[in-house]
Chains A and B, each alone.
Chain A
Amino acid sequence: MATQRHSRDVILDVDNISLSFGGVKAIQDVSFDVREGEMRAIIGPNGAGKSSMLNCINGFYHPQQGTITYKGVKRSQMRTHEAAAQGIARTFQNIALFKGMSTLDNIMTGRNLKMRVNVLLQALHIGPARREEIAHREFAEKIIDFLEIQAIRKTPVGRLPYGLQKRVELGRALAAEPDLLLLDEPMAGMNTEEKEDMCRFILDVNDEYGTTIVLIEHDMSVVMDISDRVVVLDYGEKIADGTPDEVRNNPQVIDAYLGVAHD
């Protein structure tokens, strides 16, 4: 049950974003904002443009129109690694883990931006390189403890079951200590227990670390339970924006989900 939060600063402002691929309009003139520390959900039927929206926020897609203001800085084009450097981390709908590496190594890759020591010292593995590696290992282990995946830390992720892979992916995103966390269907394909665990982790991240979370999810009960505010997209357009209660009773939203004939 999401507690009401007193209003905070806007950390992300999405303004009049339009995105098309060739002739296909994926997103049409969508605007919304996200407040710091908030749990914001983006929902909508399949193909509504939700993943594309996340891809715009972290710089993977470049919208043809509109701007995104993040931490007060307005920009329309950003490279993905710049987004990462500015504190945006994300998970992916289809899991984008590095299959050849272990759980621990995958999470350590999330620490990459914080590692500074140069190549030569690393090759010799002495002094600062050694200390840095161990320090980051400690941080990764904290995340492993948090997500309760100690038993699989050395297993190559390609061998893990789907639910655990999704958890590891969350761990990798958390390792970067993000200010803004984008989660693309983090609970897809999970059973009830796994969903509960995942929910708990996500809520803990939001509560304990104050990380702002933007979340795409299909499971309505989850969305309604844990989000502060919800944006609803359909066919690339925004059709509702407000608290879960407001959105739940919005006739347009109900139509979109029940598949009423679209003009």
Chain B
Amino acid sequence: MFYRESGQFKTSYAADQALLPIAQDRWFVVLVIALAFVVVPLWADEYWLQAVLLQFLIYAMAAMGLNLLLGYAGQLSLGTGGFMAVGAYAAYKITTAFPDLNIIVVFMLAGLCAAGVGILFGIPSLRIKGFYLAVATLASQFFLVWLFNKVPWFYNYNPSGTLTAPPREIFGYLVTGPRALPEVRYLVALTLVAVFALLARNLVRGRVGRSWMAIRDMDIAAEIIGFRPFQTKLMAFAISSFYCGLAGAMQLFLWLGSVETEAFDIIVSFLVLFMVIIGGLGSTLGSFLGAGFITLVPIFLTNAPRLVGLDMAADLQKHLELMIFGSLIIFFLITEPLGLARLWQVTKEKLRRWPFPY
């Protein structure tokens, strides 16, 4: 009754192709943006900003990256952690070498480095497909993490091997470093995520997105129509790695302040993969839903037993988390391989008809 499209006529192709063709959707997004940019920084406390929202934003960025590669282009990659590491280490090296360079520019350059590495490790994707490619990307994951661990140049010969984000400012506000306010860091991260989500949506609904989906759905036919598989796949790896690299840089500078290579190990790759699956392959919204889900489950598990009166030991909680993650993955793959995004879509369909049953 409320969520209806009737009466909303599109009189031009541009209107039909718009990102949010239904008016109710537009209002909803405006509301979310207003909440996110204005209400949250005013109301949220440090714990929420630091432990939940920033984590969510960084995960969302990484999940978007992997979604472009896996959900849209159909290339299974287990190297997400490695590419995030490239972004973090590249950003660190660039900003320590050029301290006056604007940190956002540093981020972009770090993303480009990650994109370059992504192209390199994406080259095998022409010959190798599907599961074999996944194992090949494990090579990139293990190698990159090992590289950043072993070659001291990457962490500026610092004896502890840890990267620490130096303080940097934008327009006079401190955005990185130990004294930067969580609200400021949150807003910077939020802006980056919002901008890049928009760019991702644009890419996906245009020629590049179609070329990825064509390769994903039937690469032989795609080539016969004239798509170049190699260029298409490399483009997917490049852009996806850019996003992951950016996420890694954001993780170091905006969220944690310091990282070691453990922050980018194979578990992270699996985690981002889970986000993409649970959230929904081939859907930008899905990346957000999945990231949100993975961020919230540990929080829920930490707090829920206490609310119900049970007291759970920390390591038992961790084991339960593992089991719940694992079971959810299996559950989603069996019942709804299209993930939460699909559930959301189904809900919207039902809303269209509400309150009528069909």
Q: Judge A-B direct contact (beta carbons within 8 Å).
A: yes
* 8 Å CB interface, B220-238 against A: 220-228, 235
Q: B216's closest neighbor in chain A, by CB? A: A100
CB of A231 closer than 8 Å to a CB of B: no
CB distance from B328 to the nearest CB of A (A): 24
The distance in angstroms between the C-alpha atoms of A96 and B217, with both chains bound, is: 9
Q: B235's closest neighbor in chain A, by CB? A: A119
The reply to whether B221 and A92 form a contact with Cβ atoms under 8 Å apart is yes
The reply to whether A122 and B224 form a contact with Cβ atoms under 8 Å apart is no
The reply to whether B217 and A112 form a contact with Cβ atoms under 8 Å apart is no
The reply to whether A98 and B221 form a contact with Cβ atoms under 8 Å apart is yes
CB of B156 closer than 8 Å to a CB of A: no
CB of B96 closer than 8 Å to a CB of A: no
Q: A86's closest neighbor in chain B, by CB? A: B226
Which residues from B are CB-within-8-Å of A119? 203, 208, 235, 239
Number of B interface residues in the complex (CB < 8 A): 29
Q: B239's closest neighbor in chain A, by CB? A: A119
Which residues from B are CB-within-8-Å of A60? 220, 224
Q: A99's closest neighbor in chain B, by CB? A: B217
CB of B202 closer than 8 Å to a CB of A: yes
CB of B214 closer than 8 Å to a CB of A: yes
The reply to whether A98 and B213 form a contact with Cβ atoms under 8 Å apart is yes
Which residues from B are CB-within-8-Å of A134? 13-14, 17
The reply to whether A89 and B202 form a contact with Cβ atoms under 8 Å apart is no
Q: A84's closest neighbor in chain B, by CB? A: B226
CB of B313 closer than 8 Å to a CB of A: no
The distance in angstroms between the C-alpha atoms of A109 and B207, with both chains bound, is: 8
The reply to whether B210 and A112 form a contact with Cβ atoms under 8 Å apart is yes
Q: A131's closest neighbor in chain B, by CB? A: B14
CB distance from B22 to the nearest CB of A (A): 13
The distance in angstroms between the C-alpha atoms of A98 and B213, with both chains bound, is: 8
Interface residues of B: mostly helix, strand, loop or mixed? Answer: helix
CB of B355 closer than 8 Å to a CB of A: no
Interface residues of A: mostly helix, strand, loop or mixed? Answer: helix
The reply to whether B225 and A84 form a contact with Cβ atoms under 8 Å apart is yes
The reply to whether A100 and B213 form a contact with Cβ atoms under 8 Å apart is yes
The distance in angstroms between the C-alpha atoms of A105 and B206, with both chains bound, is: 9
Which residues from B are CB-within-8-Å of A122? 202-203, 206-208
Q: B200's closest neighbor in chain A, by CB? A: A123
Q: Contacts A81-B223, A84-B224, A137-B17 given: A101-B199 contact, CB under 8 Å?
A: no
The reply to whether B224 and A80 form a contact with Cβ atoms under 8 Å apart is yes
Q: A134's closest neighbor in chain B, by CB? A: B13
CB of B75 closer than 8 Å to a CB of A: no
The reply to whether A123 and B211 form a contact with Cβ atoms under 8 Å apart is no
CB of B79 closer than 8 Å to a CB of A: no
Which residues from B are CB-within-8-Å of A58? 224
Q: A83's closest neighbor in chain B, by CB? A: B224
The reply to whether A105 and B210 form a contact with Cβ atoms under 8 Å apart is yes
From the candidates B202, B223, B224, B226, name the one contacting A123 in the complex (CB within 8 A).
B202
CB of A113 closer than 8 Å to a CB of B: yes
The distance in angstroms between the C-alpha atoms of A185 and B32, with both chains bound, is: 51
Which residues from B are CB-within-8-Å of A133? 17, 206-207
The reply to whether B208 and A98 form a contact with Cβ atoms under 8 Å apart is no
CB of B218 closer than 8 Å to a CB of A: yes
The distance in angstroms between the C-alpha atoms of A235 and B207, with both chains bound, is: 42
Interface set of B (CB-CB < 8 Å, partner A) = 13-14, 17, 199-200, 202-203, 206-208, 210-211, 213-214, 216-218, 220-228, 235, 239, 282
- Give 5 A-B contacts (CB < 8 Å), ordered by A residue: A81-B228, A119-B239, A134-B14, A137-B17, A138-B13
